[in-house]
A and B are shown apart, each in its own frame.
Chain A
Amino acid sequence: MSDFEPKIVAFFCNWCTYGAADLAGVSRLDYPPNFRVVRLPCTGRLNPKFIMEAFKRGADGVWVSGCHPGDCHYIAGNYYARRKFILLHQLLESVGVDPNRLRFSWISSAEANKFQAMAKDVVENVKACGPNQSFRKEELNLGLAEVA
């Protein structure tokens, strides 16, 4: 299992965590490359179906990160988002999705170190869960065996 490299879909707010990732980059702080970032204008933009879509298509984990409460560029977007996260987090855990696959965090654009630590932690946690086999769509049956 140790050579399992998870694929993680990350949804970052443009005004904070996305900046933190940039800052971590220019500061030469290295972090694991297992996540693909989708930039959002605000975590308030995050529709739960984005997360479902990521899992459906086989993501091993999802990471959502935005501005600290009180720091939203749009005044209150992350407060609304937080309520959605509370529901989504509870619902997915209730139906048996390992909470270690789904991470929510608040990281400001100045917190490059927190970003680096969080990135490592997210990847480690998802690695420990192993590949996502139970909460994704079936591989399409392309009939490849018959061709070969």
Chain B
Amino acid sequence: MKLSRIITTLLSGLPVTLTLLVFSFIFAAAIGLGIAWLSLRNSAVCYNISRLYLGLVRGTPPLLMLLLAYYGLPKLFLLVGININDWSKLLFGIVGLSVGWSGYLSEAFRSAYLSVDQGQYEAALVVGMNPSDAFWRIIMPQTVLIALPNIENLVIGLVKATSLVYVIGLVDMYSSATDLSNQNQGVYQLEIFVVLALIYWMIVLAIEWVFRSIKKEYQYVTV
């Protein structure tokens, strides 16, 4: 089998892989911020809710999370009379991965927030900024910068976790590779998987480059 055929077949799954990666990350970050916010409030109820969520989400294997999203979520929605059975598989994949990664991201945000020097928050208040400006302009940017190395790790982990969506029958790069291998009775298995590994590796390289650029841009902001 020609190498070009392997490459084009695998790349046909790339848009699904990238869509899963980008949207799962965005939603996971949004949920993670919300959970981190809950756990940092001065409220035992909020704190306990966030801990419960974290315990459940972090304690569930990502593969299982995808299965729960795909088979469980429609049942849950039917209870309140909403039919989501015709949602595309891609959406369920995104939901499963987002929930699965939200716990890790919330901990990355929470620990980063706690290590920002709160004296700067006070300084912002005493120059007359209102609390929300002080938070969004001074504390939040530094929280993100501190969390950056953790976030990078988590994004790279997410790249590889996208390959798990085969369990709900979604055809991403990994599924395309196994399908191609099976169609050829496994004869070209090794070549196919080496090419697949190289493509994943290049995605990770691109991610590392993006994070390196951000770090370089803010190299003088030592927090």
A and B: bona fide binding partners: no
